[in-house]
Structure 1
Amino acid sequence: MAIGMIRTTTAITREVVPIVSANKTQSRANVLAVYKEMQRYAPELYREFHLEDMPLSVFRAALKKQYTDNAHLTDFRVIDRKIAECRRMFAELGKSACCTCKFHRVFLESAKRRFCTNPKRLQSQQTSVDGSDVKTFAKLSPDWTKEDGPFKALYSMNRLRLPLIVDTIGRKSEQGHDPLLGLHIADIGCGGGILTFPLARLGAHVQAVDASADVIASVKEAENCFRHENRGSGKATFKCSSVEDFATKNAGKFDAVVASEIIEHVADVELFVESCIQLVRKNGALFFTTINKTIASRVMAIWIAERILGIVPPGIHNWSKFIEPKFLRMILEENGCSVRLLHGMIYNPLTNNWSWSRNMLMNYALVAIKN
């Protein structure tokens, strides 16, 4: 009987190759290492399985849950076995770029059931454009050039945006003017050129892009006036295009990309940000301003700003599409960028003034550099 027990124990030991030693510290270290490796694979799995219907952050949370569900395990041999299974899966994924394995089918079907509100979107998504938002802004086309109209808060925001851009990429000159002289800047989601024209007046060559043909058409007259009246060296041109199509034709051509107050209106944040990164050259800068996803932003940006004070047109914002700074940072860092600045902004609707703040519960600005 004793001999039989020894043989059984030996068999188990051979079947489960020890990965961790018999102490909690080493066990936790190895589990953490595998967890980090899984999270490192997350963007690749996310794209490979076409899970665009859910945010990457939700997908990461789902992976994390697989680990927390096993937090009760204390038997080192069981932990070893699960770690070994994970590492075998990593090896299989590395061998098969097309992911035709059983894991692909099982995981994809599971993801469809758990996360996807519209499984058809799992097939492929080539654009981050949100058609409903494009229609909303198209209806507001006549108001883009009115500084005291529905977009007056954006005009006022230039008092923060312009100095931020100039301080980051501007060139000092003895004359003290045209600090953006000769720099090529892409203004993504440009709308009516509220930021485009001021950048051009500072000497930049600005290529403004918007997905709405109606919005671009509405700004053509202003573009022509600027072309005839501007005596400086700056230029402003407008184009109707998705950022993805524009990036395909203009990869690495810009010294800076500005995506101000647009990321909260796109259908696929990760695809949008990746396209912005594609546009900028190495060591170029990316500027984002957007709204944080907090209870405060739901109350202030939607209930109060839209429904009570009427600062912005009703229905222009969707709280579910707001993005937390940590997730925007994560996307940038995963795509080879370094975040250099992350700062809060506060708007006073009574005075129509913006100011910098350490508080990021509402609006924030982020500056990143492409490595």
Structure 2
Amino acid sequence: MSQPGTASPEEIARFTAMAEAWWDPHGKFKPLHKFNPVRLAFMRREFARHFGRDPEAARPFEGLTLLDVGSGGGLLSEPLAEMGFTVTGIDAGEKNVAIARLHAEKSGVPVTYRVATPEQLDPELRFDVVLSMEVVEHVTDVALFLEAACARLKPGGMFVGATMNRTPKAWLLAVVGAEYVLRWLPRGTHDWHKFVRPSEFARMLRGAGVETRRQVGVAYNPLLDVWRETDSLEVNYLVTGVKEG
């Protein structure tokens, strides 16, 4: 189904075609499964710091609400719900949402999923956290998308995003390496021209009323087959920000 607003029909179709593989750790979404531990560790630490919670607690974020924009099959929505968040996941792909709902039901993890883009949500809805991971490089208008996503934040709420920098190294590793050499992803998954520089991300967040707090790089170690945080923002990076007011 084609969605109005910032969702790209071509990108929806691309990820819908792979939807059955979301929860296969050895399938087409293997890179995200490998990526998840470092993303979740980063978020747990940053959320605990911002909201004054104990990161070592089993469910440190009880009582807080989180919107996962572009939730796909729920690879982040479920573990964040297990940390105590009341999670709503939205995605423009109907099949992605169907897969996510089915997996959550089987897992017994309470996540609410909806087929929607952020601009289609009730304007009155507000969340403590808005998450948008590996999404901005797939939308038609990044500034409009971030404005709509950040409008869903409560004052003082936290935004977390992730994307890839528009650098020659990112083109070499994320496009040529991941899609053509290692074949981690189907060819055409990423368009280097849609990658977002950290300065651009911060500027667009500021335009949406969110002040950037941290930008942290994430790099892959092929010898250990793991991802880790790094000071370099050349390829993959994570960004946090706080809503004004």
Structure 1 length normalisation: TM-score?
A: 0.61
Alpha-carbon distance in structure 2 between the residues aligned to 1:174 and 1:368: 19
Alignment of 1:11-50 (within 5 A): none
After superposition, give the CA deviation of every residue in 1:155-203 in whole Å (9 maximum; x if it has no partner): 2222222222222223535982101112100001111101010001111
Displacement after TM superposition at 1:135 (Å) = 0.4
Alpha-carbon distance in structure 1 between the residues aligned to 2:171 and 2:98: 32
Structure having the larger proportion of residues in helix: 1
1:364 to 216, 237, 240: 237
**Could you say which residue in structure 2 is the equivalent of 1:208?**
89
- Computing the radius of gyration from Cα coordinates, the structure with the larger value is 1
Alpha-carbon distance in structure 1 between the residues aligned to 2:234 and 2:61: 31
Alignment-mate amino acid for residue 143 of structure 1: A
**Could you say which residue in structure 1 is the equivalent of 2:76?**
195
Contact 2:45/2:55 (<8 A) preserved: no
Alignment-mate amino acid for residue 192 of structure 2: W
Identity percentage of aligned residues: 28
Displacement after TM superposition at 1:350 (Å) = 5.3
Q: Which shows bigger deviation, 331-340 or 207-216?
A: 331-340
Displacement after TM superposition at 1:147 (Å) = 1.4
Alignment of 1:41-80 (within 5 A): none
**Could you say which residue in structure 2 is the equivalent of 1:132?**
10
Contact 1:251/1:278 (<8 A) preserved: no
Displacement after TM superposition at 1:331 (Å) = 0.9
The alignment covers a number of residue pairs equal to 239
**Could you say which residue in structure 2 is the equivalent of 1:63?**
none
**Could you say which residue in structure 2 is the equivalent of 1:146?**
24
Name the SS for the 2:159 alignment partner.
strand
2:153 to 271, 277, 280: 280
Contact 1:126/1:244 (<8 A) preserved: no
Give the RMSD, CA atoms, in angstroms. Answer: 1.9
Name the SS for the 1:341 alignment partner.
strand
Name the SS for the 1:187 alignment partner.
strand
Alpha-carbon distance in structure 2 between the residues aligned to 1:191 and 1:350: 29
Alpha-carbon distance in structure 2 between the residues aligned to 1:330 and 1:304: 29
Name the SS for the 1:138 alignment partner.
helix
Structure 2 length normalisation: TM-score?
A: 0.92
Contact 2:91/2:97 (<8 A) preserved: yes
Name the SS for the 2:151 alignment partner.
helix
Mind listing any 5+ residue stretches in structure 2 that lack a counterpart?
none
Name the SS for the 2:95 alignment partner.
helix
Contact 1:297/1:362 (<8 A) preserved: yes
Contact 1:223/1:237 (<8 A) preserved: no
Name the SS for the 2:180 alignment partner.
helix
Structure having the larger proportion of residues in strand: 2
**Could you say which residue in structure 1 is the equivalent of 2:103?**
222
Contact 1:153/1:352 (<8 A) preserved: no
Mind listing any 5+ residue stretches in structure 1 that lack a counterpart?
1-124
1:262/1:352 CA distance change after superposition, 3 Å: farther
